């Protein structure tokens, strides 16, 4: 982690959480437990065979590959453990709930090479590789999950984009990017969006949204109250 700011930050957050004093049982606060090296295997049916979910079965995993290489993968061990699902009371009935949030996979982009097992566009430091993955196809770049897969935290996208931008700048300086015509740039983009009747939200518009969400949140004793519909969001930008 010494040379990886993102992993170090995640470690610091988890370390801080694990060392914090647990809330008093009478405080009404809920506890969150992180359990690593598990992958979901199957849902468990309730004993009455009613078709309701009673729990989840997980397979324990272990990392394979050279430690510290950054290329380790989680592999199943054949050992399993069960986790019961809690009950949620809604009005006069109890419901067993399972919330799935187990990953994201990018889809191929037309005319770009694609690594299906990883769900990424093959690249080196953001430079898209040619169809045979042998060398960069200068002029094509990628960032985000399409570049590295669904990993990291919010700040990861910042460092990821910085790397791609640095590659673009380096290629410009070395003359690897050439153009026979002057590109229209920002104005050309805005004209294109206008022709396609795409609603543009500018940074100043976002600042209005940010301010309104904080105002609404303050009325409820919260940091912010999210606006969740396009209608509400766009109404704020026109004020």
pLDDT at residue 17, as a whole number: 77
Between 20 and 198, the higher pLDDT residue: 198
Q: What is the pLDDT of residues 33-45, one digit of tens each?
A: 788 899 989 988 8
pLDDT at residue 13, as a whole number: 82
Enclosing H/E stretch for 124: strand 123-124
pLDDT over 80 (residue 20): no
pLDDT over 90 (residue 213): yes
Burial profile 72-87: b = 16 or more Cβ within 10 angstroms, e = fewer: eebeeeeeeeeeebee
Listed residue (95, 102, 127) closest to 113, CA to CA:
127
Between 90 and 169, the higher pLDDT residue: 169
Per the CB < 8 A criterion, the answer to whether 133 and 122 are in contact is: yes
Q: What is the pLDDT of residues 71-93, one digit of tens each?
A: 788 899 999 999 887 666 555 55
Tell if the pTM clears 0.85, that is, is over it: no
Give the SS3 label for residue 39.
strand
**Percent of residues, the chain, with pLDDT higher than 90:** 36
pLDDT at residue 233, as a whole number: 93
Annotate 47-95 with DSSP letters as a single string. Answer: TT-SS-EEEEEEEEEEEES-TTSS--EEEEEEEEEEEEPPEEEETTEEE
Q: What is the pLDDT of residues 123-159, one digit of tens each?
A: 999 999 987 666 787 788 999 999 998 887 777 888 8
Per the CB < 8 A criterion, the answer to whether 148 and 123 are in contact is: no
């Amino acid at each position: 982690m010494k040379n990886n700011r993102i992993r170090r930050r995640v470690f610091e957050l988890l370390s801080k959480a694990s060392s914090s004093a647990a809330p008093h049982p009478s405080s009404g606060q809920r506890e969150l437990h992180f359990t690593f090296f598990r992958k979901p295997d199957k849902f468990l049916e309730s004993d009455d065979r009613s078709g309701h979910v009673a729990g989840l079965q997980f397979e324990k995993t272990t990392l394979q590959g050279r430690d510290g290489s950054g290329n380790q993968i989680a592999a199943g061990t054949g050992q399993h453990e069960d986790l019961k699902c809690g009950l949620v009371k809604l009005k006069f009935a109890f419901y067993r709930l399972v919330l799935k949030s187990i990953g994201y996979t990018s889809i191929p982009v037309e005319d770009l090479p694609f690594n299906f097992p990883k769900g990424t566009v093959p690249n080196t430091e953001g430079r898209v590789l040619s169809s045979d993955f042998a060398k960069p196809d200068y002029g094509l770049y990628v960032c985000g999950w399409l570049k590295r897969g669904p990993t990291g935290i919010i700040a990861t996208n910042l460092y990821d984009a910085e790397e791609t931008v640095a590659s673009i700048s380096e290629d410009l300086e070395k003359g690897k990017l050439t153009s026979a015509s002057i590109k229209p740039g920002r104005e050309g983009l805005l004209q294109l969006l206008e022709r396609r009747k795409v609603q543009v939200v500018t940074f100043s518009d976002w600042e209005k949204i940010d301010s309104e969400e904080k105002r609404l949140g303050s009325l409820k004793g919260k940091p912010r109250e999210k606006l969740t519909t396009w209608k509400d969001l766009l109404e704020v930008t026109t004020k």
